[in-house]
Each structure stands twice: as C-alpha cells, then as structure tokens.
Amino acid sequence: MRALFLVLGLTAASFGPASTQDEPADEATHLGRHLFTIHGVSDPTAVAFDPSGDLWVAGRTVRRFTSEGDEVQDLSQPSGWADASGITVDRHVLVVSGSWRTVTEADLRGESPVPVGPEQDMLCSGGGLATSAHVLAVADPLAGHVWLTSDGESEAIGHEQLSRPMDVAWSRANELYVIDADTSRVEVYDEEGNHLRGFGAWGAFPGLLADPHGIDVWNDRVFVADTANHRVQVFTLEGERAYTFGLHAIVPREGKGKLHYPSAIAISKDGSRMAIAEPLDDRVQVFGRASGAEPTEDPLRPNDGKPSPHHGFDLDADGTWMVATEPESGRVHLYDTRLGKEPIRITTFGGRGSGLLRYRRPSAVDVDIAARSVLVCDPGLRILEEVQLEIDPDAPIGQHRGVARAVRRLDFERLQRTQAEASVLKDLQWPISPIGVLREGERTYILDAANRTVIELDTDWNPTRTLRPDTFHDPRSMAMGPGGMLWVTDAQPGQVQGFSTTTSELGATTRRLGEGRLDRAHGVVLLEDGSMYVSDAGADAVIRFDAEGNEVVRVGSSGLGRDQFRKPRALALDGEGRLIVNDHANHRGFLLTQALEYVHAFGSRPYAQIARDPKRYPPESYVE
C-alpha cells in the first residue's frame, strides 16, 4: 500500500495548465544542428525552456538566457537558489535543490519563493522535476523513487522498478517518463503512479543506454541524454528507437556539436530548440532543426564504437599499488607505481553485472598491499565486497589475469532489512548508499551518502557504531589521521570535519577546518604529522593545511596546464610519499611532490600529454 503524506499550501492551480507542444512546421526535420554554446555555467545539472523560448540553466546558480544565448537574469539572488538539480518553467519557476533537499516555486523574476512538493524531511536527494496539469513529479535518486504531489498530498512511487531515477518528463497524454541511471532504462507511469511499461538496457549499441541522466518528451518523441555514451537517443513513446544524435568529444574542450557526458536535456515548447547541459565542461550547447527526419551519417568518419571510459571519483594507494574504479564499465584497475612516473596497470577485475566480482557502479576502493586485498563499494548494488589478489607485489612488473577472487560481500539492503530494529541502524531513514570505504586496523568505515552517515564495521562486518552529525550536508570522502581522528570532507558547505574514533561514542570530539577557504571539498589525505591535503572540486585546487588547520600551500586553477585542474576528486599518497591527484573532469591523474610541485601526468592521452609536453601541446590552444 502506498503511503500518502500531507503537504500544506500546494494545489493543482500552482502548476497552471499543462504546457502545450506545437506541431513542427516541417515533419521531415530533426533536432541536431548546433547553433551556439553557453560557456562558464558552473556545474549545469538542469535546463528548461519557458513558453517564450528563453532558456533557464540550473546548477550552482540559476540563470536565464535568451533564445540567442544572451544572459538576461541571474536568479541565485534574491531567491537564494543555488546547487539546483532540477528546474521547470511555465507560468512559474520550480527549482529543486539536491543537497538541501527542498523544492521551491517562484514567479519568473525569482522573487518570493515558497516551498512546494514533498516536505524537506521526505526528500533524500534531489533530481529532475516536471509538472503535468495536476501533478508535480520529483526524482529522488538516492532514495530510488519518484515523488508525486497533487492536491496537497505526496506519495513515493517506483520502488519495484527504480534504482537511481535522475530525471522525469510528462507526455501530452499525462504519462510520466523516468530515466534511471543505474538500470539504464526508461520507466513509464500514469498520474496515479501505476507502472505502465519500460524500455532500455545497458550497452553501447544504438538503442541501448549507459548511465543516462536526462530526459524530455516533445510531441511523440522521447529524448534521452545518454550520458556515458556521449550522445542523445530519440525514441517513440513506446520505446522504439527513432534516431541517435551526437558524436563523442575526444579532444579536450571539443564542442560545436560534439558531446562530452551530456547530463540534462530540454526541448523548447515549439520543438525548434534542444539544450544539452555538460557539467564536466561547465557549458550548455543549444541545437536547432536540421533537414531530414534523422541525422545523416558521415561515411568518412570511422565507427568509434563505445567511447573509452575514464576513472571515477575514487582511487587509493598503498605502497607500490594504486587502485582506481571505472564506473562506466563496472571495472576496477590495479596499478604498480614502482617505475616512478607512469603507473602501470597490472590487472583488471569486475565488469557489468550483479554477481561476485561484478558491479553496477563501483565508486569507492581501499587497497591493502600487505593483505593483497581490495575493498570495493558499489552504491548501485548497495554492496561492499572484499577481493583477494593473488599477486606478489615484489615480483617484476607484469600483466596478470584471473588473479582476483571475491572473498566476501556485504549486502547493505539485506543488512538494513534484517537489522531494522537494531540500535545501530534503526535510525537510518534511507537505503544505504556506500560511496566511501576506509580500512583502519580491525575497523572498516563506510560513508553513506543517502543518510549522510559514517557506519563503523567490525572484523566480521557487523555494524558497531554510526556517526551522523547534523553538520553533514554533502559528505564526499574520508581519511584517518593521527590519534584516531576520522576526517570527512563535505562539499556543501566546503569544509573538512574531524571526529574521534577512540571514544566510546563515535565522533564525540569534533574539529573543523576550511570554512571560507574551501568551495567544494572532496578528497582528503593525512600525513603522519597531522597535516593534510584537500582537493577542492569547486575552486579547481589542491591545498595543504598544517596540523593546526592553517593553509600552507595551494596550487590550481581551472585549465589543462601542469598546475591546473578540472574538478579534482580523490587524493592518495604513493609509496614514495608523493601525492596522487585524480584530476577527474580532465580524465587524468597527477603525481605531485609534498610541496605540490609537478612530477608527472598520466591517464587519458589527449589530456595527459598537455601537462607532459606543454610546449608541443599548449593548454591555451584547447578551446571550443
């Protein structure tokens, strides 16, 4: 039985009439002709056209552009909208904030926003949103369902079909289309929340999807931002593929129609424009109609097949071993760093699936070279797995196959279900989403993004204690420091918090640093003297703090040079004490000295070669 929750002050009139969709003047056209690009929009996660044709872009700010790409309004002030994950515009503007878990509605000037939709304690996270004539739909990715709000009541739907719903869109027939990134499917519901049908599966071939993040419906077509395949796929309302649009941007900053992890998509009311947001490049590309019912393939362009995937947010190192995740393929890679510069990949394990040594979205790792063991967290499957590697770390560097063996696996969904009344987990409101793992002695610590909690496990992986401070908003990673102080980065607000693990109550002693100096704290690593390195994905920088929290040295700005980054994420120390930086949006890694001086770059060749040989590949030449 579905539970209904009362939300005061929201009526069907809030949404206005269902948006109209005009028939195109020429049916023998398709959307796909590049018109212009809007650069410098920080982390655009949602786009929407209003009835006049103006384009609204939501992310770290909410901004409004004309149909020609000229900015006319920044709605972050006075409304206070920021870090938005979804936006829709008709007579009013509705915005959902992912980290702060609120949905607000305002007039087209952004003034006097009022809360609408699910109450704040109902939303676990924020995704896309859309309105029909009577119903507001809000995706809740970490909770694994979609909220429907109408006539003052909200209900959660899709528990049986959905895993990580990212975006929603209504058709003219008032059918709700939901894009699910983890299952790579589209699920369709009616206004009452009844499941009608679904289509899609994971893969690279036409008609298949990989980590899709955005969806919109116009006329009788469904447009999907096929994120990890770097393209847009267009389907009929029943799920048959109509055409595929877009080419993978290979060269850094390549654009003008080339796509790089398209995340959100919107079609104008008259069907003449398509906007595509690309957060990794901080840009929005706008397309118009082109002749022909579908794009014409270039016979001279080779078939690239599936684009090469890149490392995810996390990596870890211990001694001469480094391990990194590759979420797009579901794989984990082990590297040997003994050559001093380029880490050499010596084995790979995993792959797409749900059984042992198979993953949906491996996102966090911990490596122990002495135990020859790797811990892998997968928030897509909600599991923790230990993998034994039958490799001698002292043997000459070489390639190894078939050396990975799954030792044990912890299913957090089952753990919550069986320990629903246990004192340690009973207060967790949402399904555990493990995005961080840290091994320290006989204890293992799990960072749970959904509940904003750190869970402590004993040697048998039984939960013993939890850390759930009110100060957590968007925790990203963990590191252990001297004296048993557990440090956790929090992207919003940008800060690092330290909690004692040696007292009977986890987190009894708290320290905090970085306030006012960090924008989007992500990675953290500690030295023996208590000093720490922090990556700032918002400021594109890496900072070293001393043991008292004073900033010692900072390096970085946005770009492709040796001292530049693009949304840096995980940090680790190799066996020689050098800092490894995951320069995530630049698809490369850096080796730096402890003074943050450049040593070497590795990773995707088009990106790494710019830092290796800046005279031959000058960073300033890579612009759209």
Boundary (domain end) residue, out of 391, 426, 461: 426
CA-CA distance, 37 to 499, in Å (whole number)?
45
In a domain, 536, yes or no: yes
Q: CB-based contacts of 511: which residues, under 8 Å, 6+ apart?
A: 485, 497, 498, 549
Q: Are residues 323 and 274 in the same domain?
A: no
pLDDT digits (tens, 9 = 90+) for 294-353: 888 766 555 444 445 589 999 999 999 999 999 999 999 999 999 988 899 999 999 999
Count structural domains, the chain: 3
> How high does pLDDT run on average in the chain?
91
Q: Are residues 410 and 500 in the same domain?
A: no
| Burial classification of residue 133, based on how many CB atoms lie within 10 Å of its CB (0-12 exposed, 13-18 middle, 19 or more buried) | middle
pLDDT grade, residue 25 (50/70/90)?
very low
In a domain, 389, yes or no: yes
Q: Are 99 and 492 in contact (CB under 8 A)?
A: yes
DSSP, residue by residue, 426-444: TT--S---EEEEEEETTEE
How many other CB atoms sit within 10 Å of the CB of residue 478? 22
Q: Are residues 386 and 519 in the same domain?
A: no
Q: Which of these, 552, 534, 575, 519, lies nearest to 337 by C-alpha position?
A: 575
Range of the domain at 383: 310-426
In a domain, 330, yes or no: yes
Q: What are the structure tokens assigned to 447, written together?
A: 């960072």
CA-CA distance, 459 to 444, in Å (whole number)?
8
Q: Are residues 566 and 504 in the same domain?
A: yes
Whether residue 111 is predicted with pLDDT greater than 90 in this model: the reply is no
Please state whether the predicted TM-score (pTM) of the whole model is above 0.85. yes
CA-CA distance, 133 to 153, in Å (whole number)?
15
pLDDT digits (tens, 9 = 90+) for 531-586: 999 999 999 999 999 999 999 999 999 999 999 999 999 999 999 999 999 999 99
In a domain, 525, yes or no: yes
pLDDT at 509: 81
pLDDT digits (tens, 9 = 90+) for 84-110: 999 999 989 999 986 678 898 998 888
pLDDT digits (tens, 9 = 90+) for 253-305: 999 999 999 999 999 999 999 999 999 999 999 999 999 888 887 665 554 44
pLDDT at 9: 39
pLDDT at 83: 86
pLDDT grade, residue 624 (50/70/90)?
confident
Q: Are residues 287 and 370 in the same domain?
A: no
CATH number of the CATH domain containing 408: 2.120.10.30
Q: Are residues 234 and 124 in the same domain?
A: yes
Average pLDDT over residues 593-598: 96
In a domain, 249, yes or no: yes
Q: Are residues 595 and 504 in the same domain?
A: yes
Average pLDDT over residues 468-484: 93
Whether residue 79 is predicted with pLDDT greater than 80 in this model: the reply is no
User: Bigger pLDDT: 4 or 467?
Assistant: 467
- Lowest mean pLDDT, pick from 21-35, 278-292, 330-344, 487-501: 21-35
Q: Are residues 403 and 490 in the same domain?
A: no
Fill in the DSSP letter of residue 542: E
In a domain, 119, yes or no: yes
Q: Are residues 320 and 282 in the same domain?
A: no
Q: Are residues 129 and 90 in the same domain?
A: yes
pLDDT at 119: 83
Q: Tokens 């040696």 map to which residue?
A: 502
CA-CA distance, 410 to 195, in Å (whole number)?
31
In a domain, 4, yes or no: no
Q: Are residues 257 and 314 in the same domain?
A: no
Q: Tokens 């590759």 map to which residue?
A: 326
pLDDT at 299: 60
In a domain, 442, yes or no: no
CA angle 535, 537, 541 (to 5 degrees): 55
Q: Are residues 358 and 411 in the same domain?
A: yes
> Which whole-number Å values give the CA distances from 327 to 285, 300, 316, 466, in the listed order?
25, 31, 15, 27
CA-CA distance, 426 to 188, in Å (whole number)?
33
